[in-house]
Amino acid sequence: MFKSKICLCLTGSTLSENLNILNKYRNWIDIAELRVDYLTEDERLYIRRFPEMAKVPCILTIRRKIDGGAYVDGEATRTLLFARGLAFADQDVRKNFAYVDFEEDFHVPSLQDAALAFETGIIRSVHSMDGPIKNIPQKIESLRTTGYEIPKVAFMPRTLSDVTNLFRQSKDLRDKDSILVAMGGLGLPSRILASRLHSFLTYTSPVELSDNLSHLGQIDPITLSEIYNFRSITQETSIFGITGYPLHHTQSPAIHNEGYKNYGLDSVYIPVRAENVDEAIEFADQVGIKGMSVTIPHKQSVLSYMKEISSETGDIGACNTIVKNGSDWYGYNTDAFGLMEALKKFLGIKNLKHMKVSIIGAGGASCAAAYVVKELGGKACIFNRTISKAKDLAEKYNFKYAVLSAESKSLLDEYSDLFIQTTSIGMGSTIEEISKDPIDFYDFKGSEAVYDVIYTPAKTALLKRAEEAGCKISNGLTMLQYQAEQQFYLFTGVKYE
Ligand code: NAP
Protein backbone atom coordinates (compact mmCIF):
# COMPACT_ATOMS: atom_id res chain seq x y z
CA MET A 1 0.00 0.00 0.00
CA PHE A 2 1.57 3.27 -1.08
CA LYS A 3 2.03 5.83 1.72
CA SER A 4 3.58 9.29 1.33
CA LYS A 5 6.19 10.30 3.87
CA ILE A 6 5.85 13.41 6.04
CA CYS A 7 8.70 15.88 5.67
CA LEU A 8 9.27 18.69 8.20
CA CYS A 9 10.72 21.89 6.70
CA LEU A 10 13.16 23.44 9.13
CA THR A 11 13.57 27.15 8.47
CA GLY A 12 15.12 28.18 11.80
CA SER A 13 18.10 30.52 11.79
CA THR A 14 20.37 28.16 13.73
CA LEU A 15 20.95 24.40 13.76
CA SER A 16 20.11 24.17 17.46
CA GLU A 17 16.79 26.00 16.94
CA ASN A 18 15.98 23.54 14.17
CA LEU A 19 16.99 20.61 16.33
CA ASN A 20 14.79 21.70 19.24
CA ILE A 21 11.83 22.04 16.91
CA LEU A 22 12.57 18.72 15.23
CA ASN A 23 12.57 17.03 18.64
CA LYS A 24 9.06 18.33 19.31
CA TYR A 25 7.71 16.92 16.02
CA ARG A 26 9.88 13.81 15.74
CA ASN A 27 7.03 11.36 16.37
CA TRP A 28 4.93 12.76 13.52
CA ILE A 29 7.50 12.91 10.70
CA ASP A 30 9.66 10.66 8.52
CA ILE A 31 12.12 13.14 7.02
CA ALA A 32 13.47 16.60 7.90
CA GLU A 33 14.43 19.21 5.32
CA LEU A 34 17.23 21.52 6.41
CA ARG A 35 16.57 24.81 4.69
CA VAL A 36 20.07 26.23 4.60
CA ASP A 37 18.71 29.41 2.97
CA TYR A 38 17.17 30.38 6.36
CA LEU A 39 20.33 29.74 8.42
CA THR A 40 22.61 32.62 9.44
CA GLU A 41 25.92 32.83 7.58
CA ASP A 42 27.84 31.48 10.59
CA GLU A 43 25.54 28.50 11.01
CA ARG A 44 25.94 27.54 7.36
CA LEU A 45 29.53 26.53 8.19
CA TYR A 46 28.25 23.58 10.22
CA ILE A 47 25.49 22.08 8.06
CA ARG A 48 27.45 18.89 7.49
CA ARG A 49 26.83 17.93 11.14
CA PHE A 50 23.08 18.17 10.93
CA PRO A 51 22.07 14.62 9.79
CA GLU A 52 23.99 13.06 12.69
CA MET A 53 22.38 15.51 15.13
CA ALA A 54 18.90 15.06 13.64
CA LYS A 55 18.84 11.24 13.71
CA VAL A 56 16.21 11.17 10.94
CA PRO A 57 16.81 11.09 7.17
CA CYS A 58 17.54 14.69 6.12
CA ILE A 59 17.17 16.65 2.89
CA LEU A 60 19.75 19.34 2.12
CA THR A 61 18.02 22.29 0.45
CA ILE A 62 19.31 25.78 -0.36
CA ARG A 63 16.30 27.40 -1.98
CA ARG A 64 16.74 30.57 -4.05
CA LYS A 65 14.36 33.49 -3.74
CA ILE A 66 13.05 33.00 -7.30
CA ASP A 67 12.03 29.47 -6.31
CA GLY A 68 10.15 30.62 -3.21
CA GLY A 69 13.12 30.40 -0.81
CA ALA A 70 15.30 32.93 1.00
CA TYR A 71 18.72 32.46 -0.65
CA VAL A 72 19.93 35.66 -2.31
CA ASP A 73 23.71 35.15 -2.73
CA GLY A 74 25.15 33.96 -6.03
CA GLU A 75 25.31 30.47 -7.51
CA ALA A 76 29.05 30.13 -6.82
CA THR A 77 28.60 30.38 -3.05
CA ARG A 78 25.53 28.16 -3.23
CA THR A 79 27.60 25.51 -5.01
CA LEU A 80 30.22 25.72 -2.25
CA LEU A 81 27.53 25.32 0.38
CA PHE A 82 26.19 22.20 -1.34
CA ALA A 83 29.76 20.88 -1.46
CA ARG A 84 30.14 21.56 2.25
CA GLY A 85 26.94 19.65 3.00
CA LEU A 86 27.94 16.64 0.90
CA ALA A 87 31.65 16.52 1.85
CA PHE A 88 33.38 13.94 4.08
CA ALA A 89 30.72 11.34 3.49
CA ASP A 90 30.54 8.80 6.31
CA GLN A 91 30.46 5.01 5.84
CA ASP A 92 27.44 5.10 8.11
CA VAL A 93 24.97 6.63 5.66
CA ARG A 94 22.71 7.80 8.49
CA LYS A 95 25.34 10.48 9.17
CA ASN A 96 25.08 11.81 5.60
CA PHE A 97 22.24 13.78 4.07
CA ALA A 98 19.76 11.22 2.74
CA TYR A 99 18.66 13.56 -0.07
CA VAL A 100 19.83 16.76 -1.70
CA ASP A 101 17.47 19.07 -3.57
CA PHE A 102 18.95 20.41 -6.81
CA GLU A 103 16.76 22.64 -8.93
CA GLU A 104 16.04 21.87 -12.56
CA ASP A 105 18.73 24.27 -13.82
CA PHE A 106 21.39 23.38 -11.23
CA HIS A 107 23.74 20.87 -12.82
CA VAL A 108 27.16 20.46 -11.22
CA PRO A 109 28.45 16.99 -12.20
CA SER A 110 30.95 16.74 -9.32
CA LEU A 111 28.20 17.38 -6.75
CA GLN A 112 25.89 14.97 -8.51
CA ASP A 113 28.60 12.29 -8.53
CA ALA A 114 29.41 12.90 -4.86
CA ALA A 115 25.74 12.51 -3.96
CA LEU A 116 25.36 9.28 -5.92
CA ALA A 117 28.62 7.81 -4.59
CA PHE A 118 27.47 8.17 -1.01
CA GLU A 119 23.84 7.12 -1.51
CA THR A 120 22.45 10.62 -1.18
CA GLY A 121 19.30 10.68 -3.30
CA ILE A 122 18.78 13.63 -5.61
CA ILE A 123 15.49 15.47 -5.62
CA ARG A 124 15.38 17.35 -8.94
CA SER A 125 12.95 20.19 -8.39
CA VAL A 126 11.08 22.83 -10.31
CA HIS A 127 9.04 25.58 -8.65
CA SER A 128 6.57 27.72 -10.49
CA MET A 129 5.65 30.47 -8.04
CA ASP A 130 3.35 32.42 -10.33
CA GLY A 131 1.08 29.88 -11.96
CA PRO A 132 0.47 26.24 -12.79
CA ILE A 133 2.59 23.79 -14.77
CA LYS A 134 0.18 22.56 -17.41
CA ASN A 135 1.79 19.34 -18.63
CA ILE A 136 3.02 17.74 -15.42
CA PRO A 137 3.95 14.26 -16.76
CA GLN A 138 6.11 15.87 -19.45
CA LYS A 139 7.80 18.10 -16.85
CA ILE A 140 8.44 15.14 -14.55
CA GLU A 141 10.01 13.17 -17.41
CA SER A 142 12.31 16.07 -18.32
CA LEU A 143 13.54 16.27 -14.71
CA ARG A 144 14.83 12.67 -14.72
CA THR A 145 18.15 13.53 -16.32
CA THR A 146 20.27 10.74 -14.83
CA GLY A 147 17.45 8.32 -14.16
CA TYR A 148 18.23 8.33 -10.42
CA GLU A 149 16.45 11.49 -9.42
CA ILE A 150 13.14 11.90 -7.64
CA PRO A 151 11.53 14.66 -9.71
CA LYS A 152 9.62 17.32 -7.80
CA VAL A 153 7.04 19.66 -9.30
CA ALA A 154 5.67 22.44 -7.09
CA PHE A 155 3.48 25.20 -8.40
CA MET A 156 1.24 28.00 -7.19
CA PRO A 157 -2.26 27.34 -8.57
CA ARG A 158 -4.29 30.29 -9.81
CA THR A 159 -7.59 28.46 -9.45
CA LEU A 160 -8.78 25.16 -8.00
CA SER A 161 -8.93 23.81 -11.57
CA ASP A 162 -5.11 23.88 -11.61
CA VAL A 163 -5.15 21.55 -8.58
CA THR A 164 -7.77 19.34 -10.25
CA ASN A 165 -5.42 19.07 -13.22
CA LEU A 166 -2.63 17.88 -10.91
CA PHE A 167 -4.84 15.09 -9.56
CA ARG A 168 -5.94 14.17 -13.10
CA GLN A 169 -2.39 14.00 -14.48
CA SER A 170 -0.90 12.28 -11.43
CA LYS A 171 -2.70 9.09 -12.52
CA ASP A 172 -0.03 8.60 -15.22
CA LEU A 173 2.87 9.00 -12.79
CA ARG A 174 2.46 6.08 -10.44
CA ASP A 175 5.20 3.77 -11.66
CA LYS A 176 8.16 5.79 -10.32
CA ASP A 177 8.74 8.09 -7.34
CA SER A 178 7.93 11.76 -7.78
CA ILE A 179 6.95 14.67 -5.54
CA LEU A 180 3.86 16.63 -6.51
CA VAL A 181 2.80 19.80 -4.72
CA ALA A 182 0.18 22.47 -5.37
CA MET A 183 1.06 25.34 -3.03
CA GLY A 184 -0.94 28.06 -1.25
CA GLY A 185 -4.45 27.81 0.22
CA LEU A 186 -5.89 26.37 -3.00
CA GLY A 187 -3.29 23.60 -2.96
CA LEU A 188 -4.01 22.27 0.54
CA PRO A 189 -5.80 19.12 -0.78
CA SER A 190 -2.59 18.11 -2.57
CA ARG A 191 -0.72 18.17 0.75
CA ILE A 192 -3.35 16.22 2.73
CA LEU A 193 -4.05 13.76 -0.10
CA ALA A 194 -0.39 13.30 -1.07
CA SER A 195 -0.81 9.51 -0.87
CA ARG A 196 -3.65 9.71 -3.41
CA LEU A 197 -1.28 11.65 -5.70
CA HIS A 198 1.38 8.98 -5.14
CA SER A 199 3.67 11.79 -4.06
CA PHE A 200 6.84 10.46 -2.43
CA LEU A 201 6.43 12.96 0.40
CA THR A 202 4.37 15.89 1.65
CA TYR A 203 5.98 18.99 3.14
CA THR A 204 4.92 20.40 6.52
CA SER A 205 5.97 23.42 8.61
CA PRO A 206 6.28 23.55 12.39
CA VAL A 207 3.91 26.14 13.91
CA GLU A 208 6.93 27.87 15.47
CA LEU A 209 8.28 28.69 11.98
CA SER A 210 5.03 28.89 10.02
CA ASP A 211 5.48 32.62 9.27
CA ASN A 212 8.56 31.83 7.15
CA LEU A 213 6.61 29.73 4.67
CA SER A 214 3.04 30.96 5.19
CA HIS A 215 2.69 31.78 1.47
CA LEU A 216 3.20 28.10 0.64
CA GLY A 217 0.19 26.86 2.62
CA GLN A 218 1.96 24.08 4.52
CA ILE A 219 0.31 22.81 7.69
CA ASP A 220 2.09 21.44 10.74
CA PRO A 221 2.69 17.68 11.02
CA ILE A 222 0.64 17.28 14.20
CA THR A 223 -2.45 18.79 12.54
CA LEU A 224 -1.78 16.68 9.45
CA SER A 225 -1.60 13.49 11.49
CA GLU A 226 -4.04 14.14 14.31
CA ILE A 227 -6.77 16.14 12.53
CA TYR A 228 -6.44 14.74 9.01
CA ASN A 229 -5.29 11.24 9.99
CA PHE A 230 -2.70 11.45 7.18
CA ARG A 231 -1.03 8.10 7.84
CA SER A 232 -4.30 6.23 7.30
CA ILE A 233 -5.20 7.76 3.93
CA THR A 234 -5.04 5.21 1.11
CA GLN A 235 -6.64 4.76 -2.31
CA GLU A 236 -9.64 3.23 -0.54
CA THR A 237 -10.25 6.08 1.93
CA SER A 238 -13.57 7.90 1.41
CA ILE A 239 -13.05 11.62 0.93
CA PHE A 240 -15.40 14.35 2.16
CA GLY A 241 -14.79 18.07 2.49
CA ILE A 242 -15.95 21.62 2.84
CA THR A 243 -15.96 24.10 -0.01
CA GLY A 244 -16.22 27.87 0.12
CA TYR A 245 -14.19 31.02 -0.36
CA PRO A 246 -12.01 32.22 1.23
CA LEU A 247 -12.66 29.44 3.78
CA HIS A 248 -10.42 30.86 6.48
CA HIS A 249 -12.25 30.03 9.68
CA THR A 250 -13.63 26.53 9.46
CA GLN A 251 -13.84 24.11 12.37
CA SER A 252 -15.69 21.52 10.30
CA PRO A 253 -12.58 19.37 9.52
CA ALA A 254 -11.93 18.94 13.25
CA ILE A 255 -15.54 17.86 13.93
CA HIS A 256 -15.90 15.45 11.00
CA ASN A 257 -12.44 13.89 11.18
CA GLU A 258 -12.83 13.28 14.91
CA GLY A 259 -16.10 11.50 14.14
CA TYR A 260 -14.39 9.24 11.58
CA LYS A 261 -11.76 8.35 14.16
CA ASN A 262 -14.28 7.68 16.92
CA TYR A 263 -16.44 5.45 14.71
CA GLY A 264 -13.50 3.71 13.02
CA LEU A 265 -14.44 4.95 9.53
CA ASP A 266 -11.81 4.97 6.78
CA SER A 267 -12.65 8.55 5.73
CA VAL A 268 -11.06 11.98 5.64
CA TYR A 269 -12.60 15.47 5.49
CA ILE A 270 -10.58 18.24 3.84
CA PRO A 271 -10.92 21.97 3.06
CA VAL A 272 -11.49 22.62 -0.66
CA ARG A 273 -11.08 26.33 -1.30
CA ALA A 274 -12.86 27.31 -4.51
CA GLU A 275 -13.65 30.77 -5.79
CA ASN A 276 -16.34 29.38 -8.11
CA VAL A 277 -18.66 26.53 -7.31
CA ASP A 278 -18.16 24.85 -10.72
CA GLU A 279 -14.48 24.40 -9.84
CA ALA A 280 -15.43 22.78 -6.54
CA ILE A 281 -17.75 20.30 -8.29
CA GLU A 282 -15.12 19.57 -10.97
CA PHE A 283 -12.52 18.91 -8.26
CA ALA A 284 -14.90 16.71 -6.25
CA ASP A 285 -15.78 14.64 -9.33
CA GLN A 286 -12.12 14.19 -10.30
CA VAL A 287 -10.88 13.25 -6.82
CA GLY A 288 -13.91 11.09 -6.01
CA ILE A 289 -15.22 13.19 -3.13
CA LYS A 290 -18.42 11.63 -1.80
CA GLY A 291 -19.91 14.59 0.04
CA MET A 292 -19.21 18.21 0.84
CA SER A 293 -20.28 20.90 3.24
CA VAL A 294 -20.92 24.10 1.33
CA THR A 295 -20.34 27.52 2.81
CA ILE A 296 -20.07 31.22 1.85
CA PRO A 297 -20.49 32.16 -1.00
CA HIS A 298 -21.67 28.95 -2.71
CA LYS A 299 -24.84 27.96 -0.81
CA GLN A 300 -27.17 29.27 -3.50
CA SER A 301 -25.04 28.80 -6.62
CA VAL A 302 -24.47 25.10 -5.84
CA LEU A 303 -28.20 24.40 -6.23
CA SER A 304 -28.00 24.28 -10.03
CA TYR A 305 -25.63 21.26 -9.83
CA MET A 306 -28.05 19.17 -7.77
CA LYS A 307 -30.10 16.39 -9.33
CA GLU A 308 -32.53 16.66 -6.40
CA ILE A 309 -32.81 18.73 -3.24
CA SER A 310 -34.56 18.05 0.05
CA SER A 311 -37.83 19.87 0.73
CA GLU A 312 -36.35 22.20 3.37
CA THR A 313 -33.46 23.04 1.03
CA GLY A 314 -36.10 24.15 -1.48
CA ASP A 315 -38.02 26.12 1.16
CA ILE A 316 -34.89 27.80 2.50
CA GLY A 317 -33.38 28.35 -0.95
CA ALA A 318 -29.87 27.50 0.24
CA CYS A 319 -27.91 24.27 0.36
CA ASN A 320 -25.07 23.59 2.81
CA THR A 321 -24.62 19.86 2.23
CA ILE A 322 -24.14 17.93 -1.01
CA VAL A 323 -23.92 14.16 -1.25
CA LYS A 324 -22.88 12.14 -4.29
CA ASN A 325 -24.84 9.09 -5.29
CA GLY A 326 -23.62 7.39 -8.47
CA SER A 327 -22.72 10.25 -10.75
CA ASP A 328 -25.31 12.69 -9.35
CA TRP A 329 -25.29 15.21 -6.53
CA TYR A 330 -28.12 15.61 -4.00
CA GLY A 331 -28.56 18.76 -1.90
CA TYR A 332 -29.59 19.20 1.74
CA ASN A 333 -29.73 21.96 4.31
CA THR A 334 -28.55 21.03 7.79
CA ASP A 335 -28.16 24.65 8.96
CA ALA A 336 -31.87 24.81 9.79
CA PHE A 337 -31.75 21.61 11.86
CA GLY A 338 -28.55 22.85 13.54
CA LEU A 339 -30.03 26.22 14.46
CA MET A 340 -33.30 24.68 15.62
CA GLU A 341 -31.57 22.31 18.01
CA ALA A 342 -29.18 25.03 19.15
CA LEU A 343 -32.01 27.50 19.92
CA LYS A 344 -34.03 24.88 21.81
CA LYS A 345 -31.02 24.08 23.95
CA PHE A 346 -30.05 27.73 24.40
CA LEU A 347 -33.53 28.86 25.47
CA GLY A 348 -34.55 25.61 27.18
CA ILE A 349 -37.87 25.62 25.32
CA LYS A 350 -39.53 23.51 22.64
CA ASN A 351 -40.94 26.32 20.47
CA LEU A 352 -40.91 30.09 19.98
CA LYS A 353 -44.65 30.64 20.36
CA HIS A 354 -45.40 34.11 21.78
CA MET A 355 -41.83 35.22 21.07
CA LYS A 356 -40.91 38.19 18.90
CA VAL A 357 -37.58 37.66 17.20
CA SER A 358 -35.17 40.03 15.43
CA ILE A 359 -33.24 38.31 12.65
CA ILE A 360 -30.19 40.38 11.74
CA GLY A 361 -29.15 39.75 8.13
CA ALA A 362 -30.83 38.26 5.07
CA GLY A 363 -28.15 35.96 3.60
CA GLY A 364 -27.92 32.16 3.60
CA ALA A 365 -27.82 31.72 7.39
CA SER A 366 -30.74 34.13 7.74
CA CYS A 367 -32.82 32.04 5.32
CA ALA A 368 -32.32 29.09 7.67
CA ALA A 369 -33.10 31.30 10.69
CA ALA A 370 -36.37 32.58 9.17
CA TYR A 371 -37.39 29.00 8.33
CA VAL A 372 -36.64 27.88 11.90
CA VAL A 373 -38.52 30.76 13.57
CA LYS A 374 -41.55 29.99 11.40
CA GLU A 375 -41.32 26.25 12.10
CA LEU A 376 -41.11 26.94 15.85
CA GLY A 377 -44.13 29.24 15.75
CA GLY A 378 -42.39 32.58 16.43
CA LYS A 379 -42.93 36.03 14.91
CA ALA A 380 -39.97 37.86 13.38
CA CYS A 381 -38.68 41.04 11.84
CA ILE A 382 -35.75 40.75 9.42
CA PHE A 383 -33.16 43.54 9.36
CA ASN A 384 -30.70 43.81 6.50
CA ARG A 385 -28.37 46.30 4.85
CA THR A 386 -29.86 45.43 1.45
CA ILE A 387 -33.53 46.03 2.10
CA SER A 388 -34.75 44.14 -0.98
CA LYS A 389 -33.28 40.89 0.39
CA ALA A 390 -34.94 41.45 3.77
CA LYS A 391 -38.24 42.11 1.98
CA ASP A 392 -38.05 38.96 -0.18
CA LEU A 393 -37.26 36.76 2.77
CA ALA A 394 -39.81 38.35 5.13
CA GLU A 395 -42.64 38.09 2.60
CA LYS A 396 -42.00 34.37 2.21
CA TYR A 397 -42.88 33.81 5.89
CA ASN A 398 -45.22 36.71 6.49
CA PHE A 399 -42.65 38.44 8.73
CA LYS A 400 -41.85 42.14 9.03
CA TYR A 401 -38.65 43.64 7.62
CA ALA A 402 -36.58 46.79 7.97
CA VAL A 403 -33.26 48.26 6.96
CA LEU A 404 -30.30 47.48 9.23
CA SER A 405 -29.65 50.97 10.62
CA ALA A 406 -30.44 53.27 13.56
CA GLU A 407 -33.74 54.27 11.99
CA SER A 408 -35.05 50.75 12.77
CA LYS A 409 -34.31 51.03 16.51
CA SER A 410 -37.95 51.02 17.59
CA LEU A 411 -38.65 47.84 15.58
CA LEU A 412 -35.65 46.18 17.21
CA ASP A 413 -37.14 47.19 20.56
CA GLU A 414 -40.44 45.62 19.61
CA TYR A 415 -38.87 42.33 18.40
CA SER A 416 -36.49 41.93 21.29
CA ASP A 417 -37.33 38.62 23.00
CA LEU A 418 -34.64 36.95 20.92
CA PHE A 419 -31.98 38.28 18.55
CA ILE A 420 -30.56 35.89 15.94
CA GLN A 421 -27.49 37.52 14.43
CA THR A 422 -26.72 35.99 11.02
CA THR A 423 -24.53 38.54 9.22
CA SER A 424 -20.79 38.03 8.89
CA ILE A 425 -20.15 41.29 10.77
CA GLY A 426 -17.91 40.66 13.78
CA MET A 427 -16.42 37.48 12.32
CA GLY A 428 -12.67 37.33 11.69
CA SER A 429 -9.34 37.50 13.46
CA THR A 430 -8.14 41.11 13.03
CA ILE A 431 -8.94 43.79 15.63
CA GLU A 432 -10.82 45.73 12.98
CA GLU A 433 -13.03 42.78 12.02
CA ILE A 434 -13.84 41.62 15.53
CA SER A 435 -14.64 45.08 16.90
CA LYS A 436 -17.64 45.46 14.55
CA ASP A 437 -21.18 45.19 15.89
CA PRO A 438 -24.08 45.13 13.37
CA ILE A 439 -26.54 46.77 15.82
CA ASP A 440 -24.21 49.10 17.71
CA PHE A 441 -27.05 51.66 17.70
CA TYR A 442 -29.28 49.42 19.86
CA ASP A 443 -29.13 49.58 23.69
CA PHE A 444 -29.74 46.21 25.31
CA LYS A 445 -32.21 46.17 28.21
CA GLY A 446 -30.80 42.95 29.64
CA SER A 447 -33.96 40.90 29.07
CA GLU A 448 -33.07 39.86 25.49
CA ALA A 449 -31.64 36.48 24.54
CA VAL A 450 -28.93 36.89 21.88
CA TYR A 451 -27.78 34.06 19.59
CA ASP A 452 -24.93 34.96 17.22
CA VAL A 453 -24.30 32.33 14.52
CA ILE A 454 -20.65 33.42 14.38
CA TYR A 455 -18.20 31.30 16.40
CA THR A 456 -14.88 32.92 15.41
CA PRO A 457 -14.22 34.81 17.62
CA ALA A 458 -15.93 32.88 20.40
CA LYS A 459 -17.49 36.13 21.70
CA THR A 460 -18.28 38.80 19.11
CA ALA A 461 -18.45 42.50 20.03
CA LEU A 462 -22.25 42.16 19.91
CA LEU A 463 -22.25 39.23 22.36
CA LYS A 464 -19.86 41.03 24.72
CA ARG A 465 -22.07 44.10 24.80
CA ALA A 466 -25.22 42.01 25.31
CA GLU A 467 -23.59 40.02 28.11
CA GLU A 468 -22.47 43.20 29.88
CA ALA A 469 -26.07 44.41 29.78
CA GLY A 470 -27.16 41.17 31.49
CA CYS A 471 -28.54 39.31 28.44
CA LYS A 472 -28.41 35.56 27.96
CA ILE A 473 -25.97 34.89 25.10
CA SER A 474 -24.66 32.11 22.88
CA ASN A 475 -22.29 31.90 19.95
CA GLY A 476 -22.84 29.70 16.88
CA LEU A 477 -20.73 26.72 17.93
CA THR A 478 -23.78 24.75 19.03
CA MET A 479 -25.43 25.35 15.63
CA LEU A 480 -22.22 24.28 13.90
CA GLN A 481 -21.99 21.11 15.96
CA TYR A 482 -25.63 20.08 15.43
CA GLN A 483 -25.59 20.84 11.70
CA ALA A 484 -22.32 18.93 11.33
CA GLU A 485 -23.78 15.92 13.14
CA GLN A 486 -26.68 15.75 10.70
CA GLN A 487 -24.23 16.19 7.82
CA PHE A 488 -22.10 13.38 9.22
CA TYR A 489 -25.14 11.11 9.11
CA LEU A 490 -25.92 12.12 5.51
CA PHE A 491 -22.31 11.46 4.51
CA THR A 492 -21.71 8.19 6.33
CA GLY A 493 -25.06 6.76 7.44
CA VAL A 494 -23.65 6.72 10.98
CA LYS A 495 -25.23 8.74 13.81
CA TYR A 496 -22.75 11.15 15.46
CA GLU A 497 -23.50 11.02 19.18
P1 NAP B 1 -24.13 35.43 3.20
O2 NAP B 1 -25.20 34.63 2.55
O3 NAP B 1 -23.03 35.96 2.41
O4 NAP B 1 -24.86 36.66 3.95
C5 NAP B 1 -24.11 37.66 4.57
C6 NAP B 1 -25.03 38.58 5.37
O7 NAP B 1 -24.18 39.51 6.04
C8 NAP B 1 -25.97 39.39 4.49
O9 NAP B 1 -27.14 39.67 5.22
C10 NAP B 1 -25.17 40.68 4.26
O11 NAP B 1 -25.95 41.81 3.97
C12 NAP B 1 -24.55 40.84 5.61
N13 NAP B 1 -23.35 41.66 5.56
C14 NAP B 1 -22.13 41.29 5.17
N15 NAP B 1 -21.28 42.33 5.26
C16 NAP B 1 -22.00 43.37 5.73
C17 NAP B 1 -21.67 44.71 6.07
N18 NAP B 1 -20.44 45.18 5.95
N19 NAP B 1 -22.66 45.51 6.54
C20 NAP B 1 -23.92 45.04 6.68
N21 NAP B 1 -24.28 43.78 6.39
C22 NAP B 1 -23.33 42.95 5.93
O23 NAP B 1 -23.46 34.61 4.39
P24 NAP B 1 -24.11 33.47 5.29
O25 NAP B 1 -23.90 32.14 4.67
O26 NAP B 1 -25.49 33.85 5.67
O27 NAP B 1 -23.16 33.50 6.57
C28 NAP B 1 -23.22 34.61 7.46
C29 NAP B 1 -22.49 34.26 8.77
O30 NAP B 1 -23.08 33.14 9.38
C31 NAP B 1 -21.03 33.90 8.57
O32 NAP B 1 -20.29 34.49 9.61
C33 NAP B 1 -21.03 32.39 8.71
O34 NAP B 1 -19.79 31.90 9.17
C35 NAP B 1 -22.09 32.21 9.75
N36 NAP B 1 -22.68 30.86 9.72
C37 NAP B 1 -22.59 30.09 10.83
C38 NAP B 1 -23.14 28.82 10.83
C39 NAP B 1 -23.01 27.97 12.05
O40 NAP B 1 -23.17 26.74 11.95
N41 NAP B 1 -22.78 28.54 13.23
C42 NAP B 1 -23.80 28.32 9.71
C43 NAP B 1 -23.92 29.15 8.59
C44 NAP B 1 -23.36 30.42 8.60
P45 NAP B 1 -26.29 42.19 2.45
O46 NAP B 1 -27.42 41.29 2.04
O47 NAP B 1 -26.68 43.62 2.51
O48 NAP B 1 -25.06 41.96 1.65
The pLDDT tens digits for 306-338 are 999 999 999 999 999 999 999 999 999 999 999
How far apart are the CA of 157 and the centre of ligand 1, in A? 28
Q: Give residue 347 CA to ligand 1 midpoint distance, Å.
A: 23
319 C-alpha to center of ligand 1: Å?
Answer: 15
d(CA 138, CA 173): 10
The closest residue, in CA terms, to atom 20 on ligand 1 is 385
Cβ partners under 8 Å of residue 349, min gap 6: none
**Mutation to probe ligand 1, out of 313, 366, 424, 437 (largest number of atoms < 8 A from CB):** 424
Query: Which ligand 1 atom sits nearest the alpha carbon of residue 424?
Result: 32
CA of 365 to the centre of ligand 1 (A): 7
pLDDT in tens, 60-117: 999 999 999 999 999 999 999 999 999 988 888 889 999 999 999 999 999 999 998 8
- Report which of 8, 153, 129 is spatially closest to residue 69, judged by C-alpha positions: 129
- Which ligand 1 atom sits closest to the C-alpha of 295? 25
Beta bridge partners of 450: 419, 473
Packing angle between helix 75-86 and helix 109-117, nearest 10 degrees?
Answer: 20
List all residues whose CB is within 6 A of at least one atom of ligand 1. Answer: 296-297, 299, 335, 338, 361-366, 384-386, 389, 404, 422-425, 427, 453-455, 476, 479-480, 483
Strands (E), 261-351: 267-273, 289-294, 308-309, 321-325, 328-332
The strand pair at 321-325 and 289-294 is best described as antiparallel
362 CA distance to ligand 1 centroid (A)? 8
Length of the chain: 497
Q: Looking at ligand 1, which residue's alpha carbon is closest to its atom 41? A: 476
Q: Which atom of ligand 1 is nearest to the CA of 361?
A: 9
Of residues 152, 299, 324, 379, which has the active-site annotation?
Answer: 299
- How is 145-178 classified by DSSP, letter by letter? SSS--EEEEEE--SSHHHHHHHHHHHTT--SS-B
176 is an active site residue: no
Query: Which residue has a Cα nearest atom 12 of ligand 1?
Result: 423
Q: Whose CA is nearest to atom 8 of ligand 1?
A: 363
- pLDDT score of 147: 78
Assess whether pLDDT exceeds 80 at residue 473: yes
Atom of ligand 1 nearest to the CA of 477: 41
pLDDT at 1: 83
Testing ligand 1's pocket by substitution, the residue of 385, 405, 441, 479 carrying the most ligand atoms inside 8 A of its CB is 385
Q: Find out whether 207 and 220 touch, Cβ atoms under 8 Å.
A: yes
The residue whose CA is least distant from atom 40 of ligand 1 is 480
Q: Residue 320 CA: which ligand 1 atom is closest?
A: 43
Indicate if the pLDDT at residue 369 is higher than 80: yes
**Ligand 1 atom at minimal distance to the Cα of residue 335:** 42
Taking CA atoms only, the protein residue closest to ligand 1 atom 48 is: 386
Distance between Cα 361 and ligand 1 center (Å): 7
C-beta atoms surrounding 381 within 10 Å: 21
Summarised one tens digit per residue, pLDDT across range 282-315 is 999 999 999 999 999 999 999 999 999 999 999 9
Q: Residues 140-193: pLDDT tens digits?
A: 999 998 778 999 999 999 999 999 999 999 998 888 899 999 999 999 999 999
CA of 215 to the centre of ligand 1 (A): 27
- Band of residue 248 on the pLDDT scale cut at 50, 70, 90: confident
Question: Alpha carbon of 465 to those of 293, 382, 431, 454: distances in Å?
Answer: 32, 21, 16, 15
